[in-house]
Chain A
Amino acid sequence: MPASLVEGDSLLAVDIGGANTRAVLFDIVEGTYRFIASGSAPSTAEAPFKDVSKGVRSALENLQAVTGRSLLGADQRLITPAQADGSGVDAFVCTLSAGPALKTVIVGLLSDVSLESARRLAETTYTRVAESIGLNDHRKPDEQIDTLLRLRPDVVIITGGTDGGASRSIRKMLEPVGLSGYLLAPERRPSVLFAGNQKLDDEVRELLGGVSSSLHFSPNVRPSLDTEDLEPAARELTSLYLGVRKRQLKGVDTLEAWAAGHVLPTAYAEGRMMRFLGQVYGGARGGILGIDIGASAAVIAAGFRERNSLGVYPHFGLGENLPALLQYTTLENILRWSPLDISTSVLRDYIFQKSLYPSSIPATKEDQAVAQAVTREALYLAMQTARRDFPRSARVPKPGLLPFFEPIIAGGGALGDAPTPGQGLLLLLDAVQPVGVTTIILDRNNLLPLLGAAAARNSILPVHVLESGAFQSLGTVVSVVGDASYGSLIVRARLVYENGTEARADVKYGSMEILPLPVGQSARLTLQPQRGADVGFGPGRGGTTTVSGGAMGVVVDGRGRPLILPDDPVRRRELIKRWLWTVGS
């Protein structure tokens, strides 16, 4: 892109996570925007600091040390705009996921229609649905009022009624919300989002305006019975979320002032970036998938031709909520991922101890094995949960499996900090279990949400950074869908390089093979599946496709989908060690 099209403003982006705060500097290098450097520090939302801006200043100090560029003035304020002496930046944006998940009550009419939309809407940000109230709820209104008073929710999301449709039933649903709000002390009243029948907006304003801490409206999430449109309501929910966070966390208002209002929930910013990427990549080989797993939550953002989906799952976060994972799985299920013989009691102690110290990291090999087993299971469950909301029209090779995705972009503390590219890749393959031919990209510096936030201030910057190589390509993965006995041939692969040389691999069921293909190179990959296996061209059908290289080259995963691990623990651990060895870990 010609330099003349570049706005020329430097931009500082900060992400405040549950465990860490990262500051990233973007600036012009040789006419295009580049990722310059990052600095990080522990987040400070919690006591004794209780001020997120302290962690931000600490991360900025680290960034200053790396770049030699002064970003903070003597008064500890951000220097903006950039000064003639090279200090400061022109623009600042911020993303935020720190803080406890917002306790949320969803209110709607039918459990499989408006309440389902309300649940999906709640899952677009950092919430925990603690209660739902709908038409099928057999509790009396006074019981619902007492439930709301006992829960003291941070947020109430109200949906229901198509535009111009049901109104009487919704009015009835509003009563317990309004009366409980009336009974609560003003500082404890929830923020309310109404995303139902728009005809009722004025009535809702009149009924709930004085008994909620803030009242938000968005277009109906169900304008008609067979149409769901979450996006406008999700946007409004981000505004509500930030309002609650400003009340809960000191320092958010300071950052909002630095950012001239450009503060977004991290997951929403990531979803925005995935929507953009969906427009760039979308449709060629399937949807696109973004994954972020850290202390606050697991975030799954998927873009399809028909629509996008964003799922934020605090209960699968790896920080203070970690014990909640045991409500969804067992210790044995987690340990099936471990290459080491670890007892359930060690794992249970790990989970509870880690919840006490979310920012702590594994220093020993054994601790790392436990941490990665937990990450695999949490991400696996998050993917299975997110899959429910993928459009039915998305192409899948077999019922129960994921749709085809190209590419998959993964980030977050747990993945970005993987010690080797191979470990990161294997963790992703185990937990996500992609199908067909997929490029895997690692967002090692967690840039994706920051670019999503930056896009509103500088639309060129994300495009340049995406093209600059700031993301690490792990390579291309071929995930074979099929079933065979262990050790039997499942696919033949032939990779023809640009210089005409070639590499071949006969991949046996239950194993993985790597064909080298360096970053920046592409090659023609021919696949011949055996025994009716599917590599993306249909059952038993072969084909040739162009693939791009990466840190791991071309990885052919012949372990089958879904990935079924042997029941025998000794054999299972041997296999996992062999797979780890194959990917160089």
Chain B
Amino acid sequence: MALAPVHHILPLTTIVRERVLPVKGRVLARLNQRVSPTDVVAEATWFREHVFLDASRILSLSPEAADKLIRCKVNDRLAAGAVIASGRGLMPKIVKTPVEGRVVAAGGGQILIESGESRMELRAGISGNVINIIPDRGVVIQTAGALVQGVWGNGRVDTGVMINLAEKPDAALTANRMDVSMRGSVIVAGQVRDAETLQAAAELPVRGLILASMYPSLLTTARSVRYPIVLTDGFGMMPMNSAAYKLITTNVKREATLNAEAFDRYSGVRPEVIIPLPISSEPVPPVDEETFAAGQTVRLRRPPAVGMIGTIASLRSGLTTFPSGMRAAAADVKLENGEQVLVPLVNLEVVG
């Protein structure tokens, strides 16, 4: 039995997501609280930089002697220019802090001050119920709706009503197709081929782009824009896979959350589109682990028919030789257009 990776494209499922601060902070949300995507669920303060002062060297004293002259201790808050230590004599040398900050370490004749205090707000990202509190770090939120996982995201999160500009799965989005009526929306399209389009979307501004694919040369621009971008299929000129296209285009005019987190293959964090839907009972959560079997819906990761959706007609026994000369475990996959192709199992992922 061959283990199968699973790519979620689900019309209705229970979605549970952890939202945590990168540093220790304060959780603001309460257990069972209903949150919307823009609600701040936790906050933290952090310091952008540190200042290291070697009083011992400045005062030309031994560390022990300098320690006796240092007037501050750990956790003291200091104003810019505050005297930390002063030497002795008629013209004593003085050690001052150049910045406002907090003492985080002192000893051995040295002081370390953190400065540039910044406040960080963690937003819920999705609407749902807080089902767990992670002390000092964040929350776990549960919602129900449609889920479309992507393969690449630019690290941003936002929510907006979806507008479909993809009249077909490979429709290219260009700057002149966007107008002011789309301001604050999430735009669905097939491909983006130039940086001007990404810039034009930023200038509107949009709340996000759901794209099938994008030229790799646009990665730098895509990472720099402030709205989220989720690629459902990959790089180049790939059309949107039919399963994602059907699901997204049948939900246009609904609100969608684009959680365009960078794909982390080890933690399992993936960019995703979540479309909250009303429910009468809790739907089945996604299944993360599968083994390949006949009848499964799959997506092809490599040529031929890259990006297409099909159904496993049969699993071949032993190893099969491919036109490339490679030998691998394989499956016969019936594509949606009726064509049947032979595919290495490692080039397939189960859609579900």
Which of A40-48, A122-130, A219-227, A497-505 touches B?
A40-48
Is there an interface contact between B265 and A364, defined as CB atoms closer than 8 Å? no
Q: Which of A48, A356, A368, A420 contacts B289 (CB 8 A)?
A: A48
With A351-B216, A356-B263, A357-B301 as given contacts, are A363 and B236 in contact (CB-CB < 8 Å)? no
Q: Does B288 contact A (CB under 8 A)?
A: yes
Cβ contact within 8 Å between B2 and A58: yes
* Smallest beta-carbon distance B96→chain A, Å: 15
Residue contact A140 to B52, C-beta cutoff 8 Å: yes
A391 within 8 A of B: no
A423 is an interface residue with CB less than 8 A from chain B = yes
Q: How far, in angstroms, from A320 to B264 measured CA to CA in the complex?
A: 10
Number of interface residues of B (CB under 8 A): 52
Q: Which residues of the other chain, A, contact B49 by a CB distance below 8 angstroms?
A: 142, 146
Do the beta carbons of B266 and A42 come within 8 Å of each other?
A: no
The residues of B with any CB-CB pair to A shorter than 8 Å are 1-3, 5-6, 23-24, 49-52, 54, 104-105, 110, 112, 114, 151-152, 215-217, 234-237, 263-269, 288-289, 301-304, 306, 322-328, 342-344, 346-347
A12, B187: Cα distance in complex, Å: 54
Contact with B along A40-73 (1 / 0, CB 8 A): 0110111111100011001001000000000000
Question: Is the beta-carbon distance between A423 and B288 smaller than 8 angstroms?
Answer: no
- 27 A-B pairs in the complex with CB atoms less than 8 angstroms apart: A41-B2, A48-B289, A50-B266, A54-B3, A100-B266, A141-B52, A142-B52, A146-B49, A175-B52, A175-B110, A179-B105, A183-B50, A320-B265, A346-B236, A349-B216, A352-B236, A356-B151, A356-B263, A360-B344, A362-B302, A363-B304, A364-B323, A364-B324, A419-B324, A419-B326, A420-B325, A423-B325
B236: contacting residue among A44, A142, A345, CB under 8 A: A345
Residue from the list B23, B306, B346 in contact with A42, Cβ < 8 A? B346
Closest chain-A Cβ to B48's Cβ sits at a distance in Å of: 8
Residue in contact with A47 in the complex, picked from B2, B114, B236, B267, CB distance below 8 Å: B267
| Additional A-B contact list (18), CB under 8 Å, known A47-B267, A248-B266, A360-B344 | A41-B3, A42-B2, A45-B266, A47-B288, A50-B266, A55-B3, A58-B3, A185-B23, A185-B24, A320-B265, A348-B216, A349-B237, A352-B216, A357-B302, A361-B347, A366-B303, A368-B326, A417-B327
What's the least CB distance linking A298 to chain B, in Å?
20
Tell yes or no: A367 within 8 A of B by CB.
yes
7 closest A-B pairs by beta carbon, nearest first, are A419-B325, A47-B268, A349-B236, A368-B324, A48-B288, A352-B235, A142-B52
Q: Which residue of A lies closest to B270 (CB)?
A: A47
For residue A99, CB closer than 8 A to chain B, the reply is yes
Q: Is A155 an interface residue (CB 8 A)?
A: no
Distance of A329 from chain B, by nearest CB (Å): 15
- Compute how far the CA of A359 lies from the CA of B304 in the bound complex, rounded to whole angstroms: 16
Measured in the bound complex, the distance between the Cα atoms of B179 and A4 in whole Å is 85
A145 within 8 A of B: yes
Contacts of A348 in B (CB 8 A): 215-217, 235-236
- Contact among A48, A142, A423 for B5, CB-based, below 8 A: A48
